[in-house]
Chain A
Amino acid sequence: MFDVDLIRKDFPVLSRELPGGRSLVYLDSGNSSQKPNQVIDTMRDHLAHHYSNVGRAHHTLGAESTAAYEDARDAVAAFVSAPSRDEVIFTKNASEALNLVAYAFGNPIATDERFRVGPGDEIVVSEMEHHSNIVPWQLLAQRTGATLRWFKVTDEGRLDLDDLNDLVNERTKIVSIVHQSNVLGTVNSVSPILARVREVGALMMLDASQSVPHMPVDVTELGVDFVAFTGHKMVGPSGIGVLWGRRELLEAMPPFLGGGEMIEAVWMDRSTYAPIPHKFEAGTPPIVEAIGLGAAANYLTGIGMADVRAHEKELTGYALDALGEVPGLKVIGPRTNISRGGTISFTLKNLSGDDIHPHDVGQILDDAFGIAVRVGHHCARPLHLRFGIPATTRASLYLYNTTDEIDALARGLHHVQKVFG
Chain B
Amino acid sequence: MIAESMYQELILEHYKHPQGRGLRDPFDAEVHHVNPTCGDEITLRVKVDEGKVLDVSYEGQGCSISQAAASVLHELATGATVEESLGVVDEFTRLMQGRGQVEADEDVLGDAVAFAGVAKYPARVKCALLSWMAYKDAVVRSA
Given known A-B contacts A367-B6, A390-B40, A359 and B127 have beta carbons under 8 A apart: yes
Cβ of A221 to closest chain B Cβ, rounded Å: 38
| Total number of B residues with any Cβ neighbor in A under 8 Å | 20
Say whether B65 faces chain A, with CB atoms less than 8 Å apart. Answer: yes
Q: A359 contacts B39, CB within 8 Å?
A: no
Given known A-B contacts A357-B62, A359-B127, A377 and B39 have beta carbons under 8 A apart: yes
Say whether A391 faces chain B, with CB atoms less than 8 Å apart. Answer: yes
Say whether B24 faces chain A, with CB atoms less than 8 Å apart. Answer: no
CA distance A358 to B12 in the complex (A): 15
| Chain B residue with Cβ nearest A369 | B1
Say whether A360 faces chain B, with CB atoms less than 8 Å apart. Answer: yes
Main secondary structure of the interface of A (DSSP, over half): helix
Q: How many A-B residue pairs have CB under 8 A?
A: 56
Cβ of B123 to closest chain A Cβ, rounded Å: 8
| Total number of A residues with any Cβ neighbor in B under 8 Å | 20
Say whether A351 faces chain B, with CB atoms less than 8 Å apart. Answer: no
B residues near A367, Cβ cutoff 8 Å: 1-3, 6
A residues 359-382 near B (Cβ < 8 Å) are 359-360, 363-364, 367-368, 375-377, 381
CA distance A391 to B41 in the complex (A): 12
B residues near A368, Cβ cutoff 8 Å: 1-3
Say whether A20 faces chain B, with CB atoms less than 8 Å apart. Answer: yes
Binding site for B on A (CB under 8 A): 19-20, 22, 357-360, 363-364, 367-368, 375-377, 381, 384, 390-391, 419-420
Can you list 15 A-B contacts with CB-CB less than 8 angstroms, sorted by A residue number? A19-B2, A20-B2, A359-B38, A359-B63, A360-B64, A360-B65, A363-B6, A363-B7, A363-B124, A367-B3, A368-B3, A381-B39, A390-B41, A390-B61, A391-B38
A-B pairs with lowest CB-CB distance, top 7: A359-B63, A367-B3, A357-B63, A390-B39, A376-B38, A368-B3, A20-B2
